[in-house]
């Protein structure tokens, strides 16, 4: 037997507002470019390039070494205002913003 509660739609998702970070240094868009680079846009409209090739192919890459795989690198996305990849890898949006604001790019 089906109760009235079962017949009603679950509308709990409508009660939780989407998180929209408002700090100017929060990333709103990311586009993957060739040669392990990204084009990013921030809340305040600032745009720039993030160059990761040298870092990813260095001994200092640490956990980011998995991004040497171009297919994995192309999985970049924005989550809660930061550029992220699977396996909880992310870039510091505030440091990225400062460098891009000053130089138009952030080279790691």
Distance of CA 96 to the CA centre of its chain: 11
The domains of the chain, with CATH numbers, are 21-107 (3.30.2020.10)
pTM: 0.77
Least confident stretch, 35-39, 49-53, 72-76, 87-91: 87-91
Q: How many residues does the chain have?
A: 108
pLDDT at 21: 60
Q: What are phi and psi of 16, to 5 degrees?
A: -100, 115
pLDDT in the model for residue 3: 47
pLDDT tens profile 1-29: 544 444 445 444 566 656 566 777 789 99
Report d(CA 22, CA 29) in Å as an integer: 14
CA dist., res. 12 & res. 19, Å (int): 15
Give the highest mean pLDDT range of 12-16, 29-33, 85-89. 29-33
User: pLDDT tens-digit profile of 35-65?
Assistant: 999 999 999 999 999 999 999 999 999 999 9
């Amino acid at each position: 037997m089906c109760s009235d509660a079962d017949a009603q739609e679950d509308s709990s998702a409508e009660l939780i507002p989407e998180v929209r970070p408002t700090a100017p240094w929060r990333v709103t868009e990311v586009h993957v470019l060739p040669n392990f680079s990204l084009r990013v846009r921030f809340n305040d409209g600032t745009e720039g390039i993030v160059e990761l090739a040298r870092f990813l192919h260095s001994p200092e890459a640490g956990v980011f070494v998995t991004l040497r795989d171009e297919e994995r690198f192309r999985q970049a996305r924005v989550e809660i205002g930061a550029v992220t990849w699977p396996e909880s890898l992310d870039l510091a949006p505030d440091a990225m913003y400062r460098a891009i604001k000053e130089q138009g790019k952030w080279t790691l």
